[in-house]
Amino acid sequence: MVLAEQEGDASEETGGIAARVEVQNGSRGGPPEGSSECAAAPLPSPRHRLQPSIRLTVTTMLAEAISALFTGHYDLIFVPVALPEPLVRALLPSEWGNADDAFLSNDQLAQAAGVAQLPDPGHGKRWVCVEAGKQVDTGVNYVPMGKSTFFEAKVEVPFLRHPQVKTSSPPIPFTFKTVVLFSSRLMSFSSNHMTGLRSHHAVCIRTESSYEAMDWLEIKNEGEAVVPEGTRWTEELARKVLEGWWVGENTGHAASKFIATTVDPAKPRPQLRVRLNLPALTSLTPERIKELAAGTVEVEENGWVAVDAAGFDMSESTKMQMAQLSSL
């Protein structure tokens, strides 16, 4: 019998962003509130106030400096899933999802990322990637209590053209992280408010044959799953996503990526069954999801989709890197 690993206790939630929260919410210095000195202090004149552009530069420099210290160890299962294109577009903000050129072509990917051939997801479908695993000793180095261990899962759309980066040649592939799920409430808060990713707390349960972020997604070994050889991703292609530039709902003019070093060789997982809670991921009703699926994928009564898939178990040591879109 395999015991499920569930979310950690409160001691695991002292994550790497704690120091950043302290800096943001800490004292600004100066005289105590309510003192005569405080009451007499004049407001700074407009010319002495910190200009928005300067504040943005300082914030950007701080974020880039912190990201350079963010390291960890990620044990995960990586699973590409083919879904109908209208549903994939519904996972994206309108600026991305409504763009005719949102998805990079095979030729563009070959030029930009050295991707020889993206496996065919099937007529009218696009790829969505699911990463689900456990972050071990992950967070900001050299900060007291800056690292922690927690479960993390994410749903993302790979190989997109960024609406703000359309002039680069060849185009740079971006992955849009639709949602990130954490067993740690602190990491969920930090990811939302510091990193700019749409994040939620979720109870995560992992066994040798399954991974579940309750009410969001489920991955299980399925002996009857049928995944044609021509639609299976290679490990190299999975790494293009794992190590590529990514953005999210509120990442603004910045992008990030992870420099990964393999800890253990990747292990193929050829027969998987993936279930995704599309009403939660897209805010669409089950009826609308069924309509957009048009019978090309299994949609349950509650709007969850169920798909046969193949992926990899991976174990990676990671280091974060951040850059401004204008520099890419």
Cis peptide before 32 (omega within 30 of 0): no
Please count the other Cβ atoms lying within 10 Å of the Cβ belonging to residue 248.
Answer: 24
Is 140 part of a structural domain of the chain? yes
Q: Cα(71)–Cα(76) distance, rounded to whole angstroms?
A: 16
Is 131 part of a structural domain of the chain? yes
pTM score over 0.85: no
Is 35 part of a structural domain of the chain? no
Looking at residue 320, which CATH number applies to its domain? 2.40.400
Is 99 part of a structural domain of the chain? yes
Is 185 part of a structural domain of the chain? yes
Is 20 part of a structural domain of the chain? no
CA 87 to chain centre: 18
Exposure string for 250-284, b = 16+ CB within 10 A, e = fewer:
ebeebbbbbebeeeeebeebebbbbbbbbeebbeb
Is 180 part of a structural domain of the chain? yes
Please state, in angstroms and as integers, the Cα–Cα distance from residue 287 to each residue in 66, 86, 124, 290, 299, following that order: 44, 14, 19, 5, 10
Q: Cα(276)–Cα(303) distance, rounded to whole angstroms?
A: 9
The count of domains in the chain is 1
H/E element, 65:
helix 52-68
Is 98 part of a structural domain of the chain? yes
Q: Cα(83)–Cα(302) distance, rounded to whole angstroms?
A: 17
Would you write out the chain's pLDDT as a tens digit for each of its 328 residues?
A: 344 444 444 334 434 333 333 333 333 344 344 444 344 444 444 444 445 455 445 455 555 656 666 678 999 999 999 999 999 999 999 999 999 999 999 999 998 878 878 999 999 999 999 999 999 887 666 666 667 899 999 999 999 999 999 777 888 999 999 999 999 998 899 889 878 999 999 999 999 999 999 999 999 999 888 899 889 999 999 999 999 999 999 999 999 999 999 999 999 999 999 999 999 999 999 999 999 999 999 999 999 999 999 999 999 999 989 999 999 8
Domain that holds residue 252: 72-327
The tokens of 112 are what? 């930009």
Answer whether 309's CB lies under 8 Å from 274's CB. Answer: yes
